[in-house]
Homo-oligomer: A and B are copies of this chain.
Amino acid sequence: MIVKSTPRSYSSPARAAAADETRARILVAARTLLGDGKGLPPFSLDNVAKQAGVTRLTVYNQFESKRGLLEAVFDDVAEEGGLTELPAVFAEPDIDVALRRFVSVFCRFWSGHGSAGPLMPKFGALAKLDPETAASLRLRTERRRQSLTVLVKRLLPDAPKPSAELVDVLFALTGFEMFEALSARNRSAAAVEVLVQELVAQTVARYRGGK
Contacts and interface: CB of A to CB of B under 8 A. Distances in A.
Interface of A: 121-122, 124-126, 128-129, 145, 164-165, 168-169, 171-172, 175, 177-178, 180-182, 184-185, 187, 195, 198-199, 202-203, 206
A202 B202 CA distance: 7
10 contacts: A122-B129, A124-B128, A125-B126, A125-B129, A168-B184, A169-B199, A171-B181, A171-B184, A172-B181, A202-B203
Contacts of A177: 175, 177-178, 180-181
Contacts of A182: 168-169, 172
Contacts of A195: 165, 168-169
Nearest to A165: B195
A171 B183 CA distance: 11
Contact of A168 (B124, B185, B198): B185
Contacts of A202: 202-203, 206
> Within the oligomer, what is the number of copies of this chain?
2
Contacts of A178: 172, 177-178, 181
A125 B198 CA distance: 29
Contact of A199 (B125, B145, B187, B203): B203
Given A126-B129, A195-B165, A181 B185 contact: no
A171 B178 CA distance: 10
A172 B177 CA distance: 9
A94 to B, nearest CB: 23
A124 B129 CA distance: 10
Given A125-B129, A202-B203, 16 more contacts: A121-B128, A125-B126, A125-B128, A126-B129, A164-B185, A165-B195, A168-B187, A168-B195, A169-B195, A169-B199, A171-B184, A172-B181, A177-B178, A177-B181, A178-B181, A198-B206
Contacts of A198: 206
A178 B165 CA distance: 14
Contacts of A172: 178, 181-182
